Every structure is written in C-alpha cells, then in structure tokens.
Amino acid sequence: MSSVPFARLLLSAAILTGVAACGGDTSTSTTTSTTTAETTAPAAAPEATAPAAVPATETAAAPATPAAGVTLASLTGDATKGEQVFGQCKTCHVVEKGVNRVGPSLWGVVGRKAGSIENFKYSPANKNSGFTWTDEQLFTYLEAPQKVIPGTYMAFAGLKKPQDRADVIAFLKTKA
C-alpha cells in the first residue's frame, strides 16, 4: 500500500521528465528550423507534448505497477469487453467445445484441471502444474504465463492490465 504514493512520485517524475525532454526537443527544433517554422511550431508543440508524455507515464508505471496489489475480487469482469480481450487469444485458442488449435479448447476452462483436455499434447510443465483453473488461478496465470508455469508451450506475454484479465475471465465463464 505504501507503494502507491511512491508510484505516484515516479509517475510525476516521469511526466515532468517527459515534458521537459519534450520541451527541450521542441525548442531545439524551433531554433534549428528557423523562422519559417514559426507558424508550425506552436501547433506542433502541444501535439508533441501529449503523446510523448503518455508512453513515458506507462513505461514508468510498468515496474511499479499497482497490479501487484490488485486482486480479482476488487474488480468486476465485463464479459463483453472480455470477448474483445479474447481477440488476443484467438490466434491459438477457440472457445468451441473439443476444438483445439495451437492451444487447447478453452470451452469450460474455468474450474477445469490444468492439462485435462484428452487429445491435446500439453507440455509436461502445464500438465504437471497441479493447477485448477479457478478465477484466481487464471487471474495470476494470465498476467505472466511463462512465469507462473515455466516451460509452458503458451507463447504469450500475458495480459498486464488486471481489468483485461478480469474481463477475459468473465467472458470465459460464459463459455461453459
């Protein structure tokens, strides 16, 4: 919990840095591009500031992410949004019963034992994980699959946003 003000500090620092860096850039380019740029420079400046500041904030937030403290219980999953999030899983999974692709069918996955689809060739890591795919287990797993099950065949970086995970879990629950 004490990490929150610290994270804020980091964020403000990042924003300041971002803005400062950006201001620097802008003034440099204004100076170098001489008087012809006078009309374009003021218009470009606010534009340049905004996108630069946003990624800077995100990058700074990533390591000190509040996600560490976010529990699934504190979130409300939205199945409709979750269907969109599931777009990221679709390259490898479908939610139709008995249809395996690169990954196993995710029909009825919530509550299922890990590695339990008969005709899917799991990694030993997944098969022997001993997991049951409860909401909570999925919430943890989907943040960083390769960390939670080292050796998994699932080549997916993870859903960093807790809300995305809550949403996709809500969606998966409707497919059972």
- Asked if 159 interacts with ligand HEC (CB under 6 A), we say yes
Contact with ligand HEC (CB under 6 A) among 29, 49, 57, 123: 123
Nearest to ligand HEC of 40, 91 (CB atom): 91
User: Burial of 20 by CB count in 10 Å (0-12 exposed, 13-18 middle, 19+ buried)?
Assistant: exposed
Using CB atoms within 10 Å of the CB of residue 168, give its burial: 0 to 12 exposed, 13 to 18 middle, 19+ buried: buried
CA distance 119 to 131: 19
- Judged by beta carbon, residue 30 or residue 123, the one nearer ligand HEC is 123
Total interface residues for ligand HEC by CB under 6 A? 28
CA–CA distance, 25 with 49 (Å, rounded to integer): 10
Per CB under 6 A, contacts with ligand HEC among 44-73 are none
Interface with ligand HEC includes 128 (CB under 6 A)?
A: no
Q: Candidates 3-11, 47-55, 59-67, 100-108: pick the segment binding ligand HEC (CB under 6 A).
A: 100-108
In the three-class reduction of DSSP (H, G, I as helix; E, B as strand; rest coil), residue 98 is classed as coil
Distance of alpha carbon 76 from alpha carbon 57, whole angstroms: 25
Contact residues: ligand HEC, CB under 6 A: 88-89, 91-93, 102-104, 106, 109, 114-117, 122-123, 125-126, 133, 138, 142, 152-156, 159, 168
